[in-house]
Structures are given as structure tokens and as C-alpha cells.
Amino acid sequence: MKSVYLLLLCFGLPFVLASSYCTGSFKPTTSICKKFQFNKLKSAGHCTDSKKKTSGAFKGLKLSNCTTFYDISKLPNQSMDAHSTKMAELITNVFENGNTKMGYAAIEKLGDCRGYTGGYIGFTTGTNDAYAVVKEYVKRSPKSNLKKFLPELKRLTTFLFGDPKRDDVSRLAGFPKAWKSATCNDPVFIQTQLDVGEAMYMKPALKYAASVGVKSNLGKAIFYDTIVQHGWQYVEPSINLPRILLLTGKRKTNESEKSYLTRFLTTRRQLMCCYPGDVWNSSADRVADLQSLVNQWSKNQKLSKPVQLKIYGATVTGKENLLVDKQTCKNVTSKKAKSIPLPIPNTCPKK
């Protein structure tokens, strides 16, 4: 998860962006925020906060099995056509990287306790997914410079979620440079990012959407964007997609998909606005853009026409080149790597 707003803040542009998307029915009042119970959070998600004496605060998150993900094998399957999949990936890229140029090479330490955040959907060294990307990539390109970071990336996955040790990048000197260089010089790295993103986020998003009868392309894209930002790991129970589903409540009898998605996005935006600190609330604008798309349901539900993200100032047409990073890489080749589809990463090895 990465926030363009946060990046802009670093460049000193807060005045331009001062309008808040946490007002009205999204104002973090006691009555709106009560349902999230964030007052019971063990750490407020800030490294500075966690440096306070918090003895015992990080206990109790021991893994009870070999994965940090829920078992979703019983959720129904559904798929999405290639054009709409691309639209969904581009929409989320706009929120993560600010425009429709795919941010494969982007890599930054954001100060959100997740270590480095890199790539088109913000894989992070602090939540295991950057490790998954690099591990898969090194399998495909064994000579890569990223290989030497594998032991440290693996070590970071051994800490409990919420432990500030996951934010540590002191033993990852040179990692951002190697990440950028792999992106700009090896199409295999870009394809690996896409393949891991599809297995870890797109496929699960489609299952979760199917579980509540969300079948429109726009609805699927919204679930994808949500799962990319909030995750579906049981070790992050206060902010993940299953929590948003639970708090949204069941789809009512005969409730339209538009109405359900409206309630879903309302919960999501309220969660962001209620979460302590300014990392989550600053991306409430992303949900506001998605809400506008839902409001124009008949125009947007199929994702067959260009989609306008007004707050982010971008139009997604589906004709963009998904396989290059024109933002960072000067060396854009037309070489493509073969896609190797990966399974949803929640299966334990057979005993």
C-alpha cells in the first residue's frame, strides 16, 4: 500500500491538497468509528509510537499454520475478461502511483512501518509480498542482482505483524537500486510482478467478490483495489478485506449490486478515516473516486468505456501499455516475458 498523497506531502504540496475526504458521513466521530474498535489496537501503526514501552504489545500473533492468509479455497470461483482485468490493474495503479504509467520500478520507504514499498501495487518488505515477488523472480532469473537480498527479506517475514522490526531496512542497502534496475532491464521482472499480483490479489479478490454475489467488472475492480490496499492476511485483522465485508453486513435480499457496493465503499472509507494517524485517512480520496464510478453505474459497471478518476486527475482507457514503466525507465524495450500463472498463495505443503 502506497499513497500518492503521502508522497506529495514529502514534496511540500499539502496546501493544494488540503481538502479532506473525511468529512460528513466520513468524519471520524465516536459514533461512526465505534464499530472499528480501533481504540483496542495494540499499536497505532506508527514506528514512533511503537518505540514507546510496549512490552507484550507484540505478543499473541503467532502463526497457527504455515501461512498468513485465510483459507479461501471454499469461496466460489469467478474470472474476469482480459480487458477488464487490465482496466482494474490500471485503476489501482493510478491510486498507487498517481497516473496510468505502471509503477513497476517505483520503490520508496514511506514511513508507514512497512519498510520499502515497491512496484505497481506497492509490494512491501514489511508484509511478505515483496519477498514473494523477489523469490519468484530469482527463480525465473537466477543471476539477478536481487538474489542477494533474499536472506534478509526472508528474515523480515519471521517477525510478528505489527512488530516495528518489520520496518527495518538497514540491511537492505542497495535494494531500491537493484529493484529499479531489474524493472528497467529485464521484462521478466515486470511479468513476475504481474503474475504474483494476479495470484496474490486478483484471484482472491474475485473469490471474495463472488462470495457476496458481486459480478460486475466495476465491482470486481473495486474488490481488487481493496484487497491490494487492505490485504487478506489474518495477521492484520483490524484492517483487512474480510473485516470490511463483515462490517458491511450481508447482501440483503434483492439488494442491487450498486447498493451493496455503495455500502461496502462507505465502510471502507470510514475505516480509513477512523484509523489512527494520517497514513490511512489520506487515501480516503481513492475511495471517493471509486464511489463516483459506482454512482454512474450504467456508464461504468462493465468497464468497457474509459473511466475517469476525477480526484486523481486520470482517465483510464484500457489502451495503455501495461508491460512497461514509462515513468522511471528510460530504456523501454518491446521485449516481453512469458507469463507463468501462479496459484493463490494460501496452501500449506501437504503433510
Ligand X SMILES: *[C@@H]1O[C@H](CO)[C@@H](O)[C@H](O)[C@H]1NC(C)=O
User: Which residues of this protein are in contact with ligand X, per CB under 6 A?
Assistant: 20, 22, 64-65, 67, 69-71, 74, 76-77, 185, 187, 234, 253-254, 277-278, 281-282, 331, 333, 335, 346
Residues acting as catalytic residues = 96, 112
- Cβ(47)–Cβ(184) under 8 Å? no
In the bound state with ligand X, the residue whose beta carbon lies nearer, of 85 and 300, is 85
* Min separation Cβ 26 and ligand X, Å: 9
In the bound state with ligand X, the residue whose beta carbon lies nearer, of 26 and 175, is 26
* Min separation Cβ 317 and ligand X, Å: 26
d(CA 29, CA 33): 6
Radius of gyration (Cα) for the chain, nearest Å? 19
In the bound state with ligand X, the residue whose beta carbon lies nearer, of 74 and 351, is 74
β 307-309/123-124 pair status: unpaired
Alpha-carbon separation of residue 24 from 28, 146, 248 (angstroms): 9, 46, 19
- Cβ(219)–Cβ(258) under 8 Å? no
d(CA 138, CA 35): 43
Encode 145-180: b = buried (16+ Cβ within 10 Å), e = exposed.
bbeebeebbeebbebebbbbebbbeeebeebbebbb
In the bound state with ligand X, the residue whose beta carbon lies nearer, of 69 and 131, is 69
